[in-house]
Structure 1
Amino acid sequence: MGAAACAVTLAWLAALCVFDVTERRLPNWLTVPGAVAILAGATLAGQGAPATAGAAALFALYLTVHLLCPTAMGAGDVKLAAGVGALTGAFGVDVWVLAALAAPILTASWSIVEVARRGESAVPHGPSMCLATAAAVSLAVI
């Protein structure tokens, strides 16, 4: 991943975090183009198949949770799962698994802190997805 692609990806992840924390939603205009760009970039880099598999697998997992319990996970998280699943999938199954497992752990940890601090248990999941993705990919790149 080149420096420019890395910078754009980090800016996209940061924008998603800020938007989800402030607005408590992830808009289509941020999630969908990001997923398409990542899939296109991965394809051009020769990693289209693993990126597509990663996107499909994480999207399916998040969609299942959303359908079973819509209050637990929003539709924006499901759409974001396609983008971050593609990004991590392009770097390998181990990176995908690390990010997929770390995101809910981060959200649960954040919720525990918020309950203790303010009595608020509902926190957005998008920032955890973005942070877990950035951390997992960083470990693969280093």
Structure 2
Amino acid sequence: MKAAATVCMLWLIAVAVYDFRERRVPNWLVLAGAALALAALGFGNNPFDSGWRSSLAGAVVGFGFLLLFYATRLMGAGDVKFAGALGLWVGLSALLPIWIGASLMAGAHSVLWLALKRWPFYPRLVLMLAGPSRTSESDAPTRRPRIIPYAAYLALATAAWMVWGRQS
């Protein structure tokens, strides 16, 4: 595995862990990933073998497409920014299979959460799937709860794509 691939994988793991635990992706983590992707591109060491044009298009499409979901309040801003930084790493051609994989995982998360919420056989699992409670925040009544850690699922789908998806 190339050094850039290892760096990308560590970044993906950090994003997934942070998003699963906090249901948010901090700006410093997104910016670090974008800077590392730009450095990998600059040194010609991109683990996804995407060039500048594909990577920049991936960033624009990744950010722009998920921005529609943010505008309708269906997704958090961290997910949108992460998708833009992820596009820099993977390029335009890898975004569709990664989005499909992440969306399937997020859909399974939703179905499991709804089923367990309705039939609470495992109440601790419902709490884990729902994420941390944010009742102490002053803006809690105006914000929608973030049940689905979509950036984490994007990161997991990307990691799977790195390991299995690019093989011929």
TM-score between both structures, scaled by the size of structure 2:
0.72
Counterpart position of 1:62: 66
2-structure distance, mates of 1:100, 1:40: 24
Task: Report the counterpart of residue 140 of structure 1 in structure 2.
Answer: 166
Structure 1 position 123 matched with structure 2 position 123:
no
* Unaligned ranges ≥5, structure 1: none
Normalized per residue, the structure richer in helix is: 1
Segments of structure 2 that go 5 or more residues without pairing to the other structure are 45-49, 119-125, 131-146
Q: Residue 135 of structure 1 aligns to which amino acid in structure 2?
A: A
Given that 1:20 and 1:124 are in contact with CA atoms closer than 8 Å, whether structure 2 keeps it comes out as yes
Count of residue correspondences: 136
Question: 2:87 maps to which residue?
Answer: 85
Where relative contact order (Cα < 8 A, 6+ residues apart) is larger, the structure is 2
Query: Residues of 1 paired with 2:70 and 2:19: CA distance?
Result: 17
Check whether the contact 2:70–2:76 (CA below 8 A) recurs between aligned residues. Answer: yes
Matched ranges for 1:30-109 at <5 A: 30-45=29-44, 47-67=51-71, 69-70=72-73, 72-89=74-91, 93=93, 95-109=94-108
How much has 1:58 moved relative to structure 2?
A: 0.9
How far the C-alpha of 1:31 sits from its partner, in A, is 0.7
CA distance in 1 between counterparts of 2:78 and 2:6 reads 23
Letter in 2 for 1:77: D
Query: Are the equivalent residues in 2 in contact too, given 1:52–1:86 (CA < 8 A)?
Result: yes
